[in-house]
Amino acid sequence: MKQTVLITGASSGIGRATAILLNEKGYNVYAAARRVEKMDDLEKQGIHVLPIDVANDTSIISALKTIKEEIGMVDILINNAGYGLFGSLEETPIYEARKHVNVNLMGLAKLTQMLLPAMREAGKGIIVNISSMGGKFGEPLGSWYHATKYAVEGLSESLFLEMKPFGVKVIIIEPGIIRTEWSGIALDHLIKMSGKGPYKEFAANSAKMLTKMNDPKTGGTEPEIIAKTIFKAIRAKKPKLRYAAGKGAKMAIFLRRFMSDGAYLRLLEKTMNKLANNSLVIL
């Protein structure tokens, strides 16, 4: 029988690319997102389109009930839903931060929690959590985003150890710079939170970098690269805990691991300034 895959945040970017690839590879794919109106073409390809808001427990329960009634067990969960909340810690309202944490972390945890009993009892299953190279370092005006990705890293590593005796695999994907809607959403939040006031110079530099991420000539990796990495990971007999892929990911993570805090942070600051100064975008 085909393995059933549930992918959150599948209306665009990495989630969408992964849904298309896994459907082509013969998986029974449920592509879940809040914006199902953007997914008509996925449905035409034979992909099941499912409305879900990972920040809403009722929505999660309803989505899983639909899958159970239609197909039964979810064999592979890909927790991809998330966004980038950028802006200074000082200027970002706590209610915005709570919303961010609910989507990027708590929704992931709730959905995983609800699927684990069936996987554990069956002695099989795969949980794939989409983190980021940003789960390894911080940057100015990115405190909340990086906090959620650090948390996903720690949660996933702990879950890996908990699930290993039961035969359930846990995989962390750490994308680098990827060309998706993510950067535009992050830019909107950045301007809203810190486009004016004491952090406006930081915001100007960050805005230039976020804009540059989607530049066809100098921007990031296409999301299909991450989709291929996910496919490789779930097909592996003994998958690694972490897979870094996409522009800058492996190098940034390698340097962070082996450089001192001071040396790495100086390098990061210099790199960010250089990237910003090479862009013509003005906030």
Written as one string, the DSSP assignment of 173-199 is EEE-BB-STHHHHHHHHHHHHHSSSTT
Residue 261 has pLDDT above 70, yes or no: yes
Q: What is the DSSP letter of 78?
A: E
Average pLDDT value for residue range 212-223: 76
Residue 45, pLDDT score? 96
pTM, full prediction: 0.93
Gap between the Cα atoms of 125 and 167, Å rounded: 7
Listed by start position, the domains of the chain span: 4-184+221-250
Whole-number Å distance between alpha carbons of 42 and 191: 33
- The per-residue pLDDT for range 14-58, each reduced to its tens digit, is 999 999 999 999 999 999 999 899 999 999 999 999 999 999 999
Q: Which residue in 11, 156, 194, 206 is the catalytic one?
A: 11
Please write the tens of the pLDDT for every residue from 77-113: 999 999 999 999 999 999 999 999 999 999 999 999 9
**How far is the C-alpha of 174 from the C-alpha of 168, rounded, in Å?**
20
Q: CB count, 10 Å around CB of 70?
A: 12
Q: What is the pLDDT of residue 276?
A: 65
If you average pLDDT over every residue of the chain, what do you get?
A: 92
Catalytic residue among 136, 149, 169, 208: 149
pLDDT on residue 220: 80
Catalytic residue among 27, 145, 199, 243: 145
Please tell me the CATH superfamily of domain 4-184+221-250, with its number: NAD(P)-binding Rossmann-like Domain (3.40.50.720)
158 is known as an active-site residue: no
